Copies of this chain bind each other. A is one copy, B any other.
Amino acid sequence: MNRELDGVFRPRSVAVIGASGKRGTIGHSILHNLIEYSFNGKVFPVNPKSKVIHSIKCYSTVLDVPDAVDLAIIIVPADHVGPILEQCGEKGVKGVVVISSGFKEVGPEGAAKEEAIVKIIRKYGMRMIGPNCFGVLNTDPEYSMNATFSKAQPLRGRIGFMSQSGALGEAILGLANDLNLGFSMFASVGNKADLSGNAILKYWGDDPNTDVILIYLESFGDPREFTRIARDLSRKKPIVAVKAGRTDAGARAVSSHTGVLAGLDVGTDALLEQCGVTRVTSIDELFDVAAALSNQPIPKGDRIAVITNAGGPGILATDAIVSLGMKMATFDKKTTKLLREKLPLVASVNNPVDVIAAGGPDSYRIAMDAVLADPNVDAVIVIFVPPVVVDHKAVINEIVAAIDNDKNRKTVLGCFMAIPSGVAGSEQMIKHKIPVYTFPESAAKAMSAMVRRRQWIERPISEPRTFKVQAKNAQKIIDDARADGQKSITGSEALAILEAYGVSIARSVRTDSAREACAVAGEIGFPVVMKADGPGVLHKTELGGVSTDLRSPEEVQVAFDAMKKNFSKGKTGFSGVMIQEMVPSGVETIIGMNHDPSFGPLIMFGLGGIFVEVMKDVTFKVHPVTPHDAKEMIESIKGYPLLNGFRGSAPVDFECLEETIMRLSQLVTDFPEIDSFDVNPFFAGADRNSSKAVDARFILRKEPPRVG
């Protein structure tokens, strides 16, 4: 088991530094909650101004505490936090939670204070949550620690909740209580000066009491690390996240095609899902999904049955199920036959099963038993709109009995459409771990999250491949460019980087004289393409820097002169031309990369030319791209049929295309100094020989990226 954060989450003794006897203060609330929640250990109030607080002996400083202190909760003004931490360090405290605000969140002065306290933390080898946070919670009876200033006393359960917003802490804990959802642990991570969300994720990944991890996220500290941890951890435990803050790559300066497209429309859902993380759009949905995942088994498949006593809600459920990508189960003939025999004549015996308003406990039991026994059904949403004439409790008892009786343990979610205050008897459902929703759409969304989880778990583990490449060649080109102060690498040098990584490129030779150009063209074989080359030559097409289909030395000569003239006008850095073979036309594609502040490098694939420019038909995946990812990228674009033998043409060499994407992903792994790139176009041909990159452009980072 991971014990790295035990000092914070599993202390045997806690000092509350800045404890207060005054009700309504944070210093009072935290001390009170520790006692009220029956912390299974010793609590020491620390405050130089008091001898006793909350009927407990109070110490002037943590150094005065006679016993060992594992965890210190600190609620003192920002300026005092440093000295207090020094004392904690001397005392041998292992973990600290700094509630105090006034650090990085208030500007540069606060940021300096924050840096200073991190130094102290590191000096003594302590671990810190915060500053500027709402506290931590561990409901394990072994610790039973509520070190937050929540008014609600959280229930025990199997959900780990990490919130980046302290302000939401109260709302989150309160709402969970109202919904009967219990936590294993809770942490408000605040400014994440020492402990990051990633560290807590890893810790909870190993916690035997935590089955489901919920995250309220504003930003990732280290996106590469997050995607790595999440991909791994989400195979063991479901992670559900509300991600606030749009992917804002578009707001940054972007000079690559991929960057522009990433800014326009990157599916954050899809990216999180690629790491196995279920994205929800609001906190109520977060809890809806958590209730399902922490109470019910995930279904074996996506064939959902609906049982209802009212047509309308049945239709709403069906709509939601289908539009969320699940299937309405087609019942086995035996099931419909049985239902037809046993249910009233006017009942509808296909999916959704409608036992009609008069349908009482018996009808529900018959329907539940039959549907749960049907081999074509993976999960059930049972809707009950309480009619005046039916005994509600009896209906609910039969629903519960049918579920208890189900040997296959199929997933069941309830939907009782009534006033929020609930339906008499619903507590039976909660007791039997069957979540109940007010609206069919909520139940369907929760079900969808479970189905996607099943799909994620059953997806074969696909690891990024490593190809043998000439990394040194690429390194040299990049180093040279940086040494020259270049911000980008284009033309022949860009193609050389691709070649170093085994991406097949159109045969190209760089030259700076017309005479040589003619000779080279002859060697390559007419017709050829001529492209302006040189550092900083970025918008070739627009500036007349591309001439295609040159069929003779004379045409090469004319083109060379024209290009030289065009480029001599501005400071374009023109220094010659590239003579390139004309690639036999395949399907024009684009492969690119752009750094996203949340996810790190994103790899893009799409159709090139008019399709990328007008239709924006591209797809993104979080780097590194696995074989499974590469395949999915290619198959998920709308224009896929154009690659797969449209109107009688041969399909492209998919293996080569996938490999090219993965080789470029490897390039991204190896060179964090590349900020973004476009390989555009890459002609995907029917075989490896006719699949070639024709042009590329790399944008370098201004400063070397932060690693860690």
Q: A442 — which chain B residues lie within 8 A by C-beta?
A: 282
Given A245-B315, A282-B441, A284-B438 in contact, is the A419-B26 Cβ separation under 8 Å? no
User: Chain A 61-97, CB within 8 Å of chain B: the 1/0 string?
Assistant: 0000000000000000000000000000000000000
A641 within 8 A of B: yes
A386 within 8 A of B: yes
Q: A642 — which chain B residues lie within 8 A by C-beta?
A: 610, 614
Q: Which of B246, B311, B322 is within 8 Å of A322, CB to CB? A: B246
User: Chain A 212-224, CB within 8 Å of chain B: the 1/0 string?
Assistant: 0000101000000
Most chain B Cβ neighbours within 10 Å, of A105, A419, A617, A639: A419
* Bound-state Cα–Cα, A26 to B107, Å: 66
* Bound-state Cα–Cα, A371 to B568, Å: 54
Q: Which of B151, B164, B165 is within 8 Å of A388, CB to CB? A: B151
Q: A162 — which chain B residues lie within 8 A by C-beta?
A: none
Given A167-B387, A388-B26 in contact, is the A178-B315 Cβ separation under 8 Å? no
Nearest Cβ distance between residue A612 and chain B, in whole angstroms? 12
When C-beta atoms are compared, the residue in chain B nearest to A281 turns out to be B441
Q: A105 — which chain B residues lie within 8 A by C-beta?
A: 311, 346
A708 within 8 A of B: no
Q: A178 — which chain B residues lie within 8 A by C-beta?
A: 419-421
Determine whether the beta carbon of B245 is less than 8 Å from that of A385: no
Q: Which residues of chain A in 430-455 are interfacial with respect to chain B, using CB atoms and an 8 Å cutoff?
A: 438-439, 441-442
Q: A319 — which chain B residues lie within 8 A by C-beta?
A: 244-246
When C-beta atoms are compared, the residue in chain B nearest to A416 turns out to be B171
Copies of this chain present: 2
Determine whether the beta carbon of B171 is less than 8 Å from that of A385: yes
Determine whether the beta carbon of A310 is less than 8 Å from that of B167: yes
A168 within 8 A of B: yes
Q: A420 — which chain B residues lie within 8 A by C-beta?
A: 175, 178, 420
Q: A313 — which chain B residues lie within 8 A by C-beta?
A: 165, 167-168
Determine whether the beta carbon of A26 is less than 8 Å from that of B646: no
Size category, A interface: 35 or more
* Bound-state Cα–Cα, A242 to B613, Å: 37
Nearest Cβ distance between residue A115 and chain B, in whole angstroms? 18
Determine whether the beta carbon of A439 is less than 8 Å from that of B244: no
Q: Which of B167, B171, B310, B418 is within 8 Å of A419, CB to CB? A: B171
Q: Which residues of chain A in 391-448 are interfacial with respect to chain B, using CB atoms and an 8 Å cutoff?
A: 417-421, 438-439, 441-442
* Bound-state Cα–Cα, A451 to B324, Å: 27
Most chain B Cβ neighbours within 10 Å, of A167, A610, A638: A167
Q: A270 — which chain B residues lie within 8 A by C-beta?
A: none
Q: Which of B283, B310, B439, B615 is within 8 Å of A283, CB to CB? A: B439
Q: Which residues of chain A in 284-330 are interfacial with respect to chain B, using CB atoms and an 8 Å cutoff?
A: 284, 309-313, 315-316, 319, 322-323
A24 within 8 A of B: yes
Determine whether the beta carbon of B170 is less than 8 Å from that of A386: yes
* Bound-state Cα–Cα, A246 to B316, Å: 9
Determine whether the beta carbon of B385 is less than 8 Å from that of A167: yes
Nearest Cβ distance between residue A247 and chain B, in whole angstroms? 10
Given A616-B638, A641-B614 in contact, is the A418-B171 Cβ separation under 8 Å? yes
* Bound-state Cα–Cα, A167 to B312, Å: 8
Given A311-B218, A312-B216 in contact, is the A388-B357 Cβ separation under 8 Å? no
Determine whether the beta carbon of A107 is less than 8 Å from that of B346: yes
* Bound-state Cα–Cα, A604 to B40, Å: 69
A101 within 8 A of B: yes
A204 within 8 A of B: no
Nearest Cβ distance between residue A404 and chain B, in whole angstroms? 27
Q: A322 — which chain B residues lie within 8 A by C-beta?
A: 246
When C-beta atoms are compared, the residue in chain B nearest to A438 turns out to be B284
A152 within 8 A of B: yes
When C-beta atoms are compared, the residue in chain B nearest to A26 turns out to be B388
Determine whether the beta carbon of A167 is less than 8 Å from that of B439: no
Q: A309 — which chain B residues lie within 8 A by C-beta?
A: 167
Nearest Cβ distance between residue A207 and chain B, in whole angstroms? 24
Determine whether the beta carbon of A312 is less than 8 Å from that of B417: no
Determine whether the beta carbon of A106 is less than 8 Å from that of B345: yes
Q: A312 — which chain B residues lie within 8 A by C-beta?
A: 163-165, 167-168, 216, 218, 244
A29 within 8 A of B: yes
Q: A614 — which chain B residues lie within 8 A by C-beta?
A: 638-639, 641-642, 646
A174 within 8 A of B: yes
A177 within 8 A of B: yes
Q: A669 — which chain B residues lie within 8 A by C-beta?
A: none
A25 within 8 A of B: yes
* Bound-state Cα–Cα, A309 to B26, Å: 17
* Bound-state Cα–Cα, A105 to B218, Å: 51
A707 within 8 A of B: no
* Bound-state Cα–Cα, A520 to B449, Å: 64
When C-beta atoms are compared, the residue in chain B nearest to A309 turns out to be B167
Determine whether the beta carbon of A419 is less than 8 Å from that of B175: yes
A183 within 8 A of B: no
Determine whether the beta carbon of B615 is less than 8 Å from that of A174: no
A389 within 8 A of B: yes
Q: Which of B152, B310, B641 is within 8 Å of A165, CB to CB? A: B310
* Bound-state Cα–Cα, A323 to B26, Å: 36
User: Chain A 98-118, CB within 8 Å of chain B: the 1/0 string?
Assistant: 000110011100000000000
Q: A245 — which chain B residues lie within 8 A by C-beta?
A: 315, 319
A186 within 8 A of B: no
A683 within 8 A of B: no
Q: A170 — which chain B residues lie within 8 A by C-beta?
A: 385-388, 418
* Bound-state Cα–Cα, A419 to B149, Å: 15
When C-beta atoms are compared, the residue in chain B nearest to A311 turns out to be B165
Q: Which of B102, B163, B310 is within 8 Å of A168, CB to CB? A: B310
Nearest Cβ distance between residue A179 and chain B, in whole angstroms? 9
Q: List 10 A-B contacts (CB under 8 A).
A: A101-B357, A165-B310, A165-B311, A167-B313, A171-B418, A171-B419, A218-B311, A218-B315, A246-B319, A246-B322
Closest 5 pairs (CB-CB, A-B): A165-B312, A167-B310, A174-B419, A106-B346, A244-B315
Q: A152-B419, A218-B315, A614-B642 are in contact. List 11 more A-B contacts (CB 8 A).
A: A29-B388, A105-B311, A165-B311, A167-B311, A167-B312, A167-B387, A174-B419, A178-B419, A218-B311, A218-B312, A615-B617
